Amino acid sequence: MRPPQDTVISRRWFLERMAWITTAAAGADALVPRPLLGADRTREYLREIPASNNTLQQVSELTELTISETVDFLRRGVVSPEDLVRAHVDRIDRYDQFYRAYADRPSLDALLASNRSEQDGSYQPLKGVCLAPKDNFYTTDMLTEGGSLVFEGFQPHYDATAVASMRSAGGLIVGKAQMGNLAGGRAQVYGTTIPTTRNAWTPNHVNYSPGGSSSGTGTAVAARMAVAGLGTQTGGSVVGPGNAQGLTCIKPTFGRISLHGVIPLSYTRDHVGPMARNVMDAAILLQILAHPDPNDPRTRGLPPAPNYVGSAAPTLGLNTPVRWPTRVGVFPGWTDPNNEAVARMRGDFLRELESMGNVQLVGEITLPEQWEELTSQPLGGSHGDPTAFFIEPLRRDVRLFGDRLPRFLNGMLQSADTYVKVQQARMLLLRSIQTQLFNQCDVVLTEGSGAFDGTGMPVLCMPIGFDTDPSSGMSVPRGVNLAAPPFGEERLFAVAAAWQARTDYHTVRPEDPVG
Amino acid sequence: MRGNAIHPPSDEELNVYIRTRYQLLGVDISVLPESDPDAPMDQERLLENGRSILRQEVVAADFDIDPQFNLPVPHPAPFVAWTEEVEQ
């Protein structure tokens, strides 16, 4: 069996890459795009989307369908894309007054027209799939306001590359999801600290957070007002709402998904992350989105995207084995959080994990040298990053930034010396994690994602149980974060696939709002 | 090592520095309330944050890192994949 990509970055790929750079540098005025070797391969991988075990009669509502089920039902001709669009729009019309997940939406007519438009026979694996990108992705047909007065009324004239990729694959953008002010915190009324978006599990209790900053996407997906969506993560903003709402999300290796047309927070730490209801759906979206983009050099020259869909399919065998032998480590203190129920849940999770085939639990890892210094402020942060992009609105009126103002002024106070040192420390941290952490394990369970966000390593979140929120008395999901070395997405998908093959936490849906 | 004649600046001195820096760059923070915990932001909180950022400059400056082995890299994950390939 082929090993996962985190263990083998092929030498052949590297030599091809070097040859391309040499050729381009020698003769070309501008670097020509690399041949899209990955396009055919991507199509081939997407054809591996598995058949659903359900029949249409077993599905209570069309909005229950996941991406893989939608693809299968469409393939079998038992539903039409139009049925799917109508079902989602109807649900949003009924319930978004409670959830407040969407910032802007197209009309039903526009969606139906978009659904009917043909793409010259191109393969459209997402045909009829209703999606909810966060409101920091540029869209030509809807405003892009970034949850902030700074971008109020902003109408982009092009789609973000990630949005364009989803549309090109047949996906329908049913709305722009509310988000924390300029990608920080939970969604609020612009310019205030009044919360808007509810957690899908506690729609009548505003104080229970939906997680941020990809709040609206998390709620829309969990509340079945979208099949899946896109968030962005600079410091936990995909896995935070993902864990808060029982979703399976992947923040991939830096550069895997284009950031072109996404309102930046940090040029060096921002990531686009698929947010979905199970690991297969997260893998399908990543498969579609992981490609080089001429408009974002950060996506160029990476190893070709491997078969994410294949890695997210469970492997048959004794004890639902993980596809590849995998050592699982645990951050110090992870099994002992300040919450008894969560501690119990994590203990159960580890015992269950250990009973799975191909899993070796290695226990608490020893942290790399200088961990505290390299992961805390200022060396572990990105203080200076947001300022340059926002100079004009900062000069116009600082009040537009609301409670997030300090984050956007910090760059005016941070010296170039410190900025360089932060980048040196970031590289040192990555080397330390690779040589002193991932020498102990292949994936690690971690409370926070900061060290992996700063270094650009992949992180996946998935649900492992339910707990009672004391303030609302409601049952709410709890999840875990798993991190892996660069290009370790397949490994993360494989672990999640094995876990979700033997548990059903990811299939439990929140009840509809009352009101 | 810093000389004995250098004393850490006071809050007031840093506040003057911060206001001057913003003013130099054309950013007017006087439109914010001086101190209002109910407002989304006020000058008092902004200056407090600014002082914290400036004092962290010292932490960064004091951090000893070998400049020959640790080049600054804005996006380290892909970079390391390339360098490891070279070593294989």
Q: How far is A383 from chain B (nearest CA, A)?
A: 8
pLDDT band, very low/low/confident/very high, at A42 (cuts 50, 70, 90): confident
Nearest by CB: A399 against B26, B31, B76:
B31
A134 catalytically annotated:
yes
Nearest by CB: B72 against A394, A427, A434:
A427
Please report the residues numbered 86 through 125 in chain A whose beta carbons come closer than 8 angstroms to any beta carbon of chain B. Answer: none
pLDDT, position B75 = 87
Residues from chain A contacting residue B64 (CB–CB below 8 Å): none
A251 catalytically annotated:
no
Taking CB atoms and an 8 Å limit, are B77 and A268 in contact across chains?
Answer: no
pLDDT, position A470 = 85
pLDDT band, very low/low/confident/very high, at A39 (cuts 50, 70, 90): confident
A436 and chain B: CB distance < 8 Å anywhere? no
pLDDT, position A361 = 97
Q: How far is B5 from chain A (nearest CA, A)?
A: 22
Residues in chain B, pLDDT under 70? 1-4, 80-88
Q: Do the beta carbons of residue A456 and residue B75 sit within 8 Å?
A: yes
Residues from chain A contacting residue B65 (CB–CB below 8 Å): 421, 424-425, 428
pLDDT at position A21 over 50? no
A213 catalytically annotated:
yes
Taking CB atoms and an 8 Å limit, are B77 and A456 in contact across chains?
Answer: yes
Nearest by CB: A413 against B40, B53, B80:
B53
Nearest chain B alpha carbon to A7: B81
- What's the rounded Cα separation, in Å, for the pair A258 and A254? 9
Q: Do the beta carbons of residue A126 and residue A84 sit within 8 Å?
A: no
Please report the residues numbered 43 through 62 in chain A whose beta carbons come closer than 8 angstroms to any beta carbon of chain B. Answer: none
Total residue length of chain B: 88
- Give the sheet arrangement for strand A271-276, strand by strand: A172-173, A130-133, A228-233, A271-276, A248-251, A459-468, A475-483, A443-446, A326-330, A359-364
- What's the rounded Cα separation, in Å, for the pair A301 and A479? 33
pLDDT, position A33 = 37
pLDDT, position A13 = 44
Taking CB atoms and an 8 Å limit, are A378 and B49 in contact across chains?
Answer: no
Per residue in A146-204, pLDDT tens?
999 999 999 999 999 999 999 999 999 999 999 999 999 999 999 999 999 999 999 99
Helices of type H across B1-88: 11-24, 43-62, 76-87
Residue A262 identity (one-letter amino acid): V
The per-residue pLDDT of chain A, averaged, comes to: 91
Nearest by CB: A421 against B45, B63, B73:
B63
Strand partners for A462? A480
pLDDT at position A23 over 70? no
Which burial class, exposed, middle or buried, applies to A298 when counting CB atoms under 10 A from its CB (0-12, 13-18, 19+)? Answer: buried
Which domains, and CATH codes, for chain A? 36-365+440-507 (3.90.1300.10)
pLDDT band, very low/low/confident/very high, at A301 (cuts 50, 70, 90): confident
How large is the average pLDDT for residues A210-222? 97
pLDDT at position A119 over 60? no
pLDDT, position A102 = 98
Half-sphere exposure in the Cβ direction for A393 (13 Å, CA): 18
**A213, A215, A266, A311: which one is catalytic?**
A213
Which burial class, exposed, middle or buried, applies to A498 when counting CB atoms under 10 A from its CB (0-12, 13-18, 19+)? Answer: buried
Nearest chain B alpha carbon to A420: B72
Mutate to test the interface with B, among A427, A431, A487 (most CBs of B within 10 A): A427
Which burial class, exposed, middle or buried, applies to A431 when counting CB atoms under 10 A from its CB (0-12, 13-18, 19+)? Answer: middle
Q: Which residue's entry shows tokens 């039902």?
A: A73
Strand partners for A334? none
Taking CB atoms and an 8 Å limit, are B40 and A402 in contact across chains?
Answer: yes
Share of chain A above pLDDT 90, in %: 81
Taking CB atoms and an 8 Å limit, are A420 and B18 in contact across chains?
Answer: no
Share of chain A above pLDDT 70, in %: 93
Return the H-helix or E-strand segment holding A328. strand A326-330
How large is the average pLDDT for residues A434-462? 96
Per residue in A57-99, pLDDT tens?
788 899 999 999 999 999 889 999 999 999 999 999 999 999 9
pLDDT at position A397 over 80? yes
* Chain B residues with a Cβ under 8 Å from any Cβ in chain A: 18, 21-22, 25-29, 31-32, 40-41, 45-46, 49-50, 53-54, 56-57, 59-61, 63, 65, 67, 70-82, 84-86, 88
pLDDT band, very low/low/confident/very high, at A435 (cuts 50, 70, 90): very high
pLDDT, position A117 = 75
Locate B23 and state its tokens. 């003013």
Nearest chain A alpha carbon to B68: A424
pLDDT at position A35 over 70? no
- What's the rounded Cα separation, in Å, for the pair A284 and A49? 8
